[in-house]
Chains A and B, each alone.
Chain A
Amino acid sequence: MAVPLSYSLRNLWQRRLTTILTVSGMALVVFVFAAILMMAEGLQKTLVETGSYDNVVVFRKGSTSEVMSSIERKQASIVEMLPQVAIDQNGRRLLSKEVVVLISLQKKGDEKASAHSNVVVRGVEENSIPLRPQVKLVSGRLFRMGSSEIIVGNSIAKGFKGVGLQGALNWGMRSWTVVGIFDAGNTGFSSEIWGDVDQVMQAFRRPVYSSVIFKLQNPAEFPAAKGAIEADPRLTLEAKRETRYYLDQSEMMAKFLRILGLSLTIIFSIGAIIGAMITMYSAVANRIGEIGTMRALGFRRRNIMLAFLAESLLLGFIGGVMGLFFASFMQFITVSTVNFQTFSELAFKFTLTGPIVLQAMSFSLIMGLIGGLLPAFRASRMNIVEALRAA
C-alpha cells in the first residue's frame, strides 16, 4: 500500500521556513531559465513575423544583411520583369525597390552622449505598403512621395529623442519632418524609419538600391524565381523567402542567448539541487522514528522511497510554478537592443510559449528528483529496529 500523498504535503507544511527557502531557490532558477528562453523566443518571433511567406527578398550575393547589399538600378529592373511577380487589381507589379541605411540616433532617458544606437532608415516606394500588411499608421499621415517627409515605427518613436510627430531629423544636409507614426505589431518594421526611396538615395548619395522585395504570384513558384535570378549572368544577386531571410538574421543572437541561458541555468541548478538535497536529508534525519514506525506498520521500502521522492518532487513542482508565475509577468516588458548581425536596433517582447512552460516545468521537476533521490534512498534502506530505537 502506498503512503498517502497528504503525508508528504503535510511534512512540507510542517517545516514551512525550510520549504519556502528551498522552493524560492528553485523558483529563481526556473525564473532565470524561463526568462532567457523567452527572450530568445521573443527575438526570433519578432524577426520571423517581420517576413511574409509569399514575399521574396533579393540582395547582393554574399552580403548577410540588406545594409551591406547593393543592387544597381539596371539589375533591379531586370528583377522587376520576372514573370513570377504578382500583379495587383490595378495592373501594377507588387514589387518594391528599397534602400536601407543606418543612422545613429540618441536614446531617450540617458543623458550620456554615448547612448546612441543605430536605427534602420528604409527608403520605400508606394508599393512597399501593400507588400507589408503588418504596417498600420496609428497617428499622423503617410509621407508624400518626393518630399523630405518620413514616418517612424512606434518602437523608435518611444525609445529615441526627437522622433515624435512633427519632430525634425537632420541628415544629408536637409531637414526631415516626421509626419506619421506607424505600428507594425511585433515585427522588425516597428524599429524602422521610412521615407521616399528616391529622396533617401539622393540624400545619402547612394546611387544603388539595397534590396528588391516582391510578392510571388503563386507562393509555390519560389524555386523558379530563385533559379531565374541566380542563374542570370547579368545579376550577381541572391533571393530568399522573406521569412527565411529574417529568420537567418535572428540566428546568431538567438543562439547566443540560448547558450548563455543554458550554461547559466545548469550552473544555477547545481545550487538549487544542493538546496533540495540538504532539505530532504534533514527531512529524513528528523523523521527516523516515523520511518521506523511506518516500516513496522507494514509499508514497504519502495513505498517509503516513493513518499520521500514525492515530497521532493512537490518541492520542484511548487518551485516551477512559482518561477513561471513570475516569469509570465516578463511578457509585459519590451527590450530594445542592437542585433549583432544587422548592427541595428531591434525592439522585442519576452514571449512565453507552451514549449517553454513544459521545458521549465520538467527542468524544475528534474531538479527536485535529483535532489531527492539520494535522501529517499537512504530513508528506504533504514533498518526497522534501529530506526525505532532512534525515536
Chain B
Amino acid sequence: MMILKILFRNAFHNKLRSGLTILGIAVAILAFGLLRTVISSWYAGVEAASTSRLVTRNAISIIFTLPLSYNEKIRQIEGVKTVSYGNWFGGVYIDEKNFFPNFCVEPKTYLEIYPEFVLSPAEKKAFLADRKGFVAGRKLAAKYGWKIGDGVTLKGTIYPGNWDFVLRGIYKGRDDTTDETQFYFHWDYLNETIKKASPQRADQVGFYMIAVTRPDLSADVALAVDKTFNNSLAETLTETEKAFNQGFIAMSGAIVTAIQMVSFVVIIIIMAVVANTMAMTTRERIGDYAIMKTMGFDGRDITVLIFGESLVISLTGCLTGMLLTFPAAAAFGHALETFFPIFIVSTETLYLDVLAAILIGCLAAIIPTRQAIRIGIADGLRRIG
C-alpha cells in the first residue's frame, strides 16, 4: 500500500508535466481505439455474414451476369433450401455523394434467407404487393427522413433513366451487426422496364443467394452448383457469403494495412513523449535515488519505483482515453455512416488499449531506469541543487 502511495505522489509531483503527459496518452489511446474500430467496421460485413448462405456469381467477375434460368437448376441441387437472386443496381439518390447500397432482389425468398432483416408483417405484405415498392434500413430512412408511402427517385448508372419507388417498409436489424443502410426493391420492376428498353439485357441476374439446409453442406453445395454450369457460356463461382465479403475487403487490402500501420505509429509517437517525461523526471530525481541508495535500497527498489511511476501515468492516460473513446466513436460513426454502417467499439480494442498502455509505460521506463541504477552514489549526491 505504501509503495502505491509513493508511486502516485511521485507521478503527480510535477502536476503540469504529468497532466500534459496523461493528456497526450489519452489522445493517443483515443486515436488508437478509433483506428482499430475503423478497421473492424471495415470487416463488419464479413462478421455479419453467415457461413450457411452461399453467393453464386459469374466466374469471370462480378460485373457479368447469369441467366435467370439458372434459378430452377440451382433449386434442384441437393442440400439447397431456398434460392433468391438480385442485381446490384448502383442508383444515385439526387447526388453521387449520397451513397448507399441499393439492390433489386426477388423479395419473398430474399427476406426468407435474411431473417436478420426484421419487417413488421403489415409492412412486409405491403412491400410484396407493390412492384414499385422498396424497403430501406432504419438508419437510411432516418438519414433522408423517408416515411412509409414516400416516393423516392434514383438515377440509374448501370440501368439508364430515372427510377421511381415508393417506400413500403423500414427494416430493423435483428443484431447490432446488421447493416441498416441498405435499399431493396423488386427485381421484377427492373426486369420489366429493361425488357422494353434493351431486351438483350433482360432476364439476367447479378447474383444468386442460396440458403442450405445444413451449414456443413455448404462446401458440397457450392461445388455442385459450379459443376452444373461448368463449360457453359456463363460459368459460376460459388462461395460462402463470408468468403464473398472477404474478397471485397481483400481488394482494398492496401488501405487496411496502411491504417493498421498508422495505428501502431501513434503508439510509438506517444511512447517517445512518455519516455521523454520519464527521462526528465529521473534526471531531476537523481539526488533522491542517490540518497535511497545510501540508505540501503538497491537497484531493484529503484526499478520498481520508476516503472511503477511510468505505469501509473500511462494507465491513468489510458483510462481517460478509453472513457473518451465511446462518445468519440458515437460521433465519428454518425459522421461517417455512409462509409461505415456499423461502428461499434469492440472489447478486443479495449484490451489492446490496456496492453498498449502497459507497453508504453514499461518501454518508456527502461532508459531512465538504467541511468538511475548506474549512477554512483557520490555522483548522484553531487548533482543536488
Interface residues of A (CB under 8 A from B): 17-18, 21-22, 24-25, 28-29, 31-32, 36, 39, 60-64, 67-68, 101-104, 110, 112-118, 171-173, 204-205, 207, 236, 260, 264, 267-268, 270-272, 274-275, 277-279, 281-282, 335-338, 340, 343, 345
B200, B266, B275: the one contacting A21 at CB < 8 Å is B275
On whether the beta carbons of A28 and B269 are closer than 8 Å, the reply is yes
Apart from the given pairs A21-B272, A268-B31, A277-B20, 11 other A-B contacts in the complex at a CB distance below 8 Å: A32-B265, A60-B160, A62-B160, A101-B63, A102-B61, A102-B62, A113-B243, A114-B243, A264-B31, A275-B276, A336-B254
In Å, the complex CA distance between A207 and B201 comes to 11
Does chain A have a CB within 8 A of B126?
no
- Please give, as numbers and ranges, the residues of chain A lying within 8 Å of B24 by CB-CB distance: 270-271, 274-275
Q: What is the CB-to-nearest-CB distance from A102 to chain B, in angstroms, rounded to a whole number?
A: 5
- Please give, as numbers and ranges, the residues of chain B lying within 8 Å of A21 by CB-CB distance: 272-273, 275-276, 279
Q: Given that A117-B251, A171-B60, A236-B160 are contacting pairs, would A268 and B273 also be in contact in the complex, using a CB cutoff of 8 Å?
A: no
- Please give, as numbers and ranges, the residues of chain B lying within 8 Å of A340 by CB-CB distance: 252
**Which interface residue of B24, B233, B246, B269 has the most chain A CB atoms within 10 A?**
B269
In Å, the complex CA distance between A130 and B239 comes to 42
Q: What is the CB-to-nearest-CB distance from A25 to chain B, in angstroms, rounded to a whole number?
A: 4
**Which interface residue of A32, A116, A268, A278 has the most chain B CB atoms within 10 A?**
A278
On whether the beta carbons of A338 and B251 are closer than 8 Å, the reply is yes
Contact with A along B265-298 (1 / 0, CB 8 A): 1101110110111011000000000000000000
B266: nearest residue on chain A (CB-CB)?
A: A268
On whether the beta carbons of B250 and A267 are closer than 8 Å, the reply is no
A261: nearest residue on chain B (CB-CB)?
A: B262
Q: Given that A64-B157, A68-B157, A204-B60 are contacting pairs, would A118 and B251 also be in contact in the complex, using a CB cutoff of 8 Å?
A: yes
Does chain A have a CB within 8 A of B114?
no
- Please give, as numbers and ranges, the residues of chain B lying within 8 Å of A112 by CB-CB distance: 250
In Å, the complex CA distance between A337 and B250 comes to 9
On whether the beta carbons of A101 and B90 are closer than 8 Å, the reply is no
Does chain A have a CB within 8 A of B347?
no
- Please give, as numbers and ranges, the residues of chain B lying within 8 Å of A268 by CB-CB distance: 31, 265-266, 269
- Please give, as numbers and ranges, the residues of chain B lying within 8 Å of A275 by CB-CB distance: 24, 269, 272-273, 276
In Å, the complex CA distance between A267 and B31 comes to 7
In the assembled complex, 25 residue pairs joining A and B whose CB atoms fall closer than 8 Å, in A order, are: A17-B367, A18-B280, A28-B269, A31-B265, A32-B262, A32-B265, A62-B157, A63-B157, A64-B96, A68-B90, A68-B157, A104-B61, A104-B62, A110-B250, A113-B243, A115-B253, A118-B61, A267-B27, A271-B28, A271-B269, A274-B21, A275-B269, A279-B276, A336-B254, A337-B254
In Å, the complex CA distance between A171 and B63 comes to 14
A115, A264, A270, A337: the one contacting B252 at CB < 8 Å is A337
In Å, the complex CA distance between A32 and B367 comes to 26
In Å, the complex CA distance between A20 and B253 comes to 34
- Please give, as numbers and ranges, the residues of chain A lying within 8 Å of B61 by CB-CB distance: 101-104, 118
B16, B30, B63: the one contacting A67 at CB < 8 Å is B63
Contact with A along B139-161 (1 / 0, CB 8 A): 00000000000000001111010
On whether the beta carbons of B158 and A68 are closer than 8 Å, the reply is yes
On whether the beta carbons of B31 and A116 are closer than 8 Å, the reply is no
Q: What is the CB-to-nearest-CB distance from B202 to chain A, in angstroms, rounded to a whole number?
A: 14
Q: Given that A25-B272, A64-B96, A264-B262 are contacting pairs, would A207 and B279 also be in contact in the complex, using a CB cutoff of 8 Å?
A: no
On whether the beta carbons of B266 and A337 are closer than 8 Å, the reply is no
In Å, the complex CA distance between A260 and B258 comes to 11
In Å, the complex CA distance between A300 and B270 comes to 36
On whether the beta carbons of B253 and A103 are closer than 8 Å, the reply is no
Contact with A along B34-78 (1 / 0, CB 8 A): 010000000000000000000000011111100000000000000
A282: nearest residue on chain B (CB-CB)?
A: B280
On whether the beta carbons of A337 and B251 are closer than 8 Å, the reply is yes
In Å, the complex CA distance between A68 and B155 comes to 13
On whether the beta carbons of A335 and B254 are closer than 8 Å, the reply is yes
In Å, the complex CA distance between A110 and B257 comes to 14
On whether the beta carbons of B266 and A274 are closer than 8 Å, the reply is no
In Å, the complex CA distance between A335 and B255 comes to 9
On whether the beta carbons of B280 and A118 are closer than 8 Å, the reply is no
Does chain A have a CB within 8 A of B231?
yes
A24, A171, A278: the one contacting B280 at CB < 8 Å is A278
**Which interface residue of A22, A63, A64, A274 has the most chain B CB atoms within 10 A?**
A274
- Please give, as numbers and ranges, the residues of chain B lying within 8 Å of A36 by CB-CB distance: 258
In Å, the complex CA distance between A343 and B61 comes to 11
In Å, the complex CA distance between A205 and B66 comes to 12
In Å, the complex CA distance between A260 and B259 comes to 9
Q: What is the CB-to-nearest-CB distance from A3 to chain B, in angstroms, rounded to a whole number?
A: 23
Does chain A have a CB within 8 A of B17?
yes
On whether the beta carbons of A207 and B200 are closer than 8 Å, the reply is yes
- Please give, as numbers and ranges, the residues of chain A lying within 8 Å of B158 by CB-CB distance: 63, 68
On whether the beta carbons of A173 and B233 are closer than 8 Å, the reply is yes
- Please give, as numbers and ranges, the residues of chain A lying within 8 Å of B31 by CB-CB distance: 264, 267-268, 271
Q: Given that A28-B265, A103-B61, A114-B246 are contacting pairs, would A17 and B157 also be in contact in the complex, using a CB cutoff of 8 Å?
A: no
In Å, the complex CA distance between A18 and B96 comes to 50
Q: What is the CB-to-nearest-CB distance from A164 to chain B, in angstroms, rounded to a whole number?
A: 21
In Å, the complex CA distance between A278 and B317 comes to 15
- Please give, as numbers and ranges, the residues of chain B lying within 8 Å of A207 by CB-CB distance: 200
- Please give, as numbers and ranges, the residues of chain A lying within 8 Å of B272 by CB-CB distance: 21-22, 24-25, 28, 275
Does chain A have a CB within 8 A of B377?
no
In Å, the complex CA distance between A341 and B63 comes to 14
On whether the beta carbons of B155 and A102 are closer than 8 Å, the reply is no
In Å, the complex CA distance between A104 and B156 comes to 24
Does chain A have a CB within 8 A of B111?
no
In Å, the complex CA distance between A28 and B160 comes to 48
In Å, the complex CA distance between A28 and B247 comes to 32
On whether the beta carbons of B231 and A173 are closer than 8 Å, the reply is yes
In Å, the complex CA distance between A115 and B252 comes to 10
A171: nearest residue on chain B (CB-CB)?
A: B60
Does chain A have a CB within 8 A of B345?
no
A64, A118, A264, A278: the one contacting B21 at CB < 8 Å is A278
Q: What is the CB-to-nearest-CB distance from A156 to chain B, in angstroms, rounded to a whole number?
A: 14
On whether the beta carbons of B90 and A25 are closer than 8 Å, the reply is no
